[in-house]
């Protein structure tokens, strides 16, 4: 919670806004860059952009950010876990894998990021690797043919690496 209000640097935001010529028509690109920088869109950043870029308002920026699924309004973990729940992955057992991750990270229903901020979890539709189903992607690494046991070992390894 505190992280939301303390991570934003107005110097950094000014730099991003200026790199896109402070143009309203570049709003999506500005938001993408902000998300890349902070791994999500802090509310404070959206309000700032809305007040700095001519022709925008904080409400407009918030509306645009909420509309597009590519934007996350919640902080993401250091490790972003994506569990494919497309048809092939679902049929081959993505749900038990997802449940194993939730249990391992102690995530409550609706909770996307674990309490220590190390992992965030989301389901995605087909990743285009159905032959490897069920597929999990952590950051940019693809983990094929996952099982509950295998993903638990992967998470243990990442937890140790992060220590
Ligand atoms: S359904 Fe999961 S990769 Fe296609």
Residue 137 Cβ contacting ligand 1 at under 6 Å: no
Tokens of 81: 């876990």
State which of 46, 67, 88 marks the end of a domain.
67
Compute how many other C-beta atoms are within 10 angstroms of the C-beta atom of residue 88.
Answer: 17
CATH, residue 88? 3.40.30.10
Distance 71 CA to ligand 1 centre (A): 22
What pLDDT score does 1 carry?
41
Question: How many angstroms separate the alpha carbon of residue 129 from the centre of ligand 1?
Answer: 5
Q: How many domains does the chain have?
A: 2
Q: Kindly state whether residue 100 falls inside one of the protein's structural domains.
A: yes
Same domain, 96 and 117: yes
Contact 96, 148 (CB under 8 A): yes
Pocket test of ligand 1: the residue of 133, 137, 142 to mutate, having most ligand atoms within 8 Å of its CB, is 133
- 63 and 91 within one domain: no
pLDDT tens for the chain, residues 1 to 163: 444 445 799 999 999 999 999 999 999 999 999 999 988 999 999 999 999 999 999 999 999 999 998 898 888 899 999 999 999 999 999 999 999 999 999 998 888 889 888 999 999 999 999 999 999 999 989 999 999 999 999 999 999 998 8
Q: Which atom of ligand 1 sits closest to the CA of residue 84?
A: 2
- Residues 158 and 102 occupy one common structural domain: yes
Which whole-number Å values give the CA distances from 1 to 42, 100, 116, in the listed order?
11, 26, 12
Judgement on whether residues 112 and 60 belong to the same structural domain of the protein: no
CATH code assigned at 17: 1.10.10
Q: Are 123 and 98 in contact (CB under 8 A)?
A: yes
* pTM beyond 0.75, yes or no: no
* Containing structural domain, residue 95: 79-162
Specify the pLDDT at position 3: 43
Q: What is the per-residue pLDDT for 141?
A: 96
**Residue 3 counted as domain residue:** no
DSSP 102-150: HHHHTPPTT--B-TTSSEEEEEES--S-GGG-S-EEETTEEE-S--HHH
| HSE, side-chain direction, 13 A CA sphere, residue 60 | 13
Q: Are 59 and 29 in contact (CB under 8 A)?
A: no
Does the CB atom of residue 97 touch ligand 1 within 6 A?
no
Pair 87, 153 in one domain: yes
- Residue 125 belongs to a domain: yes
**What's the pLDDT score for residue 69?**
82
């Amino acid at each position: 919670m505190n992280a939301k209000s303390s991570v934003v640097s107005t110097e950094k935001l000014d730099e991003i806004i200026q790199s896109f010529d402070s143009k309203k028509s570049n709003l999506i690109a500005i938001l993408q860059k902000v998300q890349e920088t902070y791994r999500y869109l802090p509310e404070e950043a959206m309000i700032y952009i809305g007040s700095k870029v001519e022709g925008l308002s904080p409400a407009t920026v918030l509306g645009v950010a909420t509309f597009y699924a590519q934007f996350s309004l919640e902080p993401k973990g250091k490790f972003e876990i994506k569990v494919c729940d497309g048809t092939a992955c679902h049929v081959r057992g993505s749900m038990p894998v997802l449940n194993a991750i939730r249990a391992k990270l102690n995530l409550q229903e609706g909770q996307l990021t674990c309490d220590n901020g190390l992992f965030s979890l989301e389901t995605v539709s087909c990743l285009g690797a159905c032959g490897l189903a069920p597929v999990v992607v952590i950051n940019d690494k693809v983990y094929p043919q996952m099982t509950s046991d295998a993903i638990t070992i992967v998470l243990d390894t990442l937890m140790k690496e992060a220590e």
